[in-house]
Structure 1
Amino acid sequence: MSALGALMIAALIAGMMLFSASPTANAQTVTVHKTPWCGCCAAWVDHLHDEGFDVIVKEEEDLTPIRSRLGVRDELMSCHTAEVAGYVVEGHVPAREIRRLLEEKPDVNGVSVPGMPQGSPGMETPNAPDRYDVIIFSGEDARTYASYRGTQLVSEPARP
Structure 2
Amino acid sequence: MNYEKYYPIVYKQLYYLVGNNELAEDLTQEVFIKYYNSKEQIEFLGAWLSKVAANIAFNYLRGEKRRIKREENILEEVNNIFSIEDEIFRSEQIKEVRKILVNIPDKQRVCLILKFSGYSYEEIHNATNIPLNNIGQFIARGKQKFVKLYKKEGEINVL
Fold match, TM over 0.5?
Answer: no
TM-score of the pair, normalised by structure 2: 0.23
Structure with greater Cα Rg: 2
Structure with greater strand percent: 1
TM-score of the pair, normalised by structure 1: 0.23
